[in-house]
Amino acid sequence: MPKRVDHEERRTQIAEALIRVAGRRGLHAVGMRDVAAEAGVSLRLVQYYFQTKEKLLFYGLQHLTDRFTARVGARLAAAGPDPGPRATIEALLLASLPTDEESRTFHLLYSSYSILSVTDEALAAQPFIDNPDAAENALTGLIGRAQESGLADPEADARKEAISLLAMAATMGTSILVGQRGPESAVEVLRHHLDRIFTTRTRSPEGDGAPS
């Protein structure tokens, strides 16, 4: 009997090949023929599963996002059964920093895809991410939860702090990639801002918001 083909496994094989070659050469320089050669399959097979380069890139990004989610999950599992809001936020932010080959590839490809989609109409037509506000909403909720529990500054604006942390992590990641700073420096800066947020404050008797 002919061997039954696992189509999802074959798609994953091709996506992994895309990630490897794009991690070496940059997303802009990758073609379907390059991916086929990396995966050890024919160009026709890649085209069968992904009719256009844009669809291939989008699937690869989704696969990379799944791997990132698994990395965050592993960090949270290592933190214990109930890591709490701060540890959860820290796990998400630190997992996004390019501190090893896996996270370097994630940051490089994710950033490259977003930049290319600005000028490439075919890429722009693809849904970049299903829920662009998911991370922002998650961090906002975690900070708000910490405030309600007395674990974070009640005067802080949870939404603005969430936006700032995500923007900071993205910028820090790029600065690591280009060699401006090392991972240790980026982690130190992120933890400095988390220390600021997760510091309980109460109003002074005069009501000026100063720490009591």
pLDDT tens-digit map of 13-48:
999 999 999 988 888 889 999 999 999 999 999 999
Checking phi first, is residue 200 left (phi over 0); if not, alpha (psi -120 to 50) or beta?
beta
> pTM for the full model?
0.79
In this prediction, residue 106 carries a pLDDT of 87
In this prediction, residue 212 carries a pLDDT of 41
- Are the C-beta atoms of 34 and 19 separated by less than 8 Å? no
Query: How many other C-beta atoms lie within 10 A of the C-beta of residue 74?
Result: 12
Tell whether the torsion through CA atoms of 107, 138, 71 and 172 is positive or negative.
Answer: positive
- Specify the higher pLDDT residue, 1 or 106: 106
- Are the C-beta atoms of 79 and 183 separated by less than 8 Å? no
- Residue 102: pLDDT band with limits 50, 70, 90: confident
Exposure of 193 by Cβ count < 10 A (0-12 exposed, 13-18 middle, 19+ buried)?
middle
pLDDT digits (tens, 9 = 90+) for 153-186: 999 999 999 999 999 999 999 999 999 999 999 9
Structure tokens at 196: 């600021």
In this prediction, residue 204 carries a pLDDT of 45
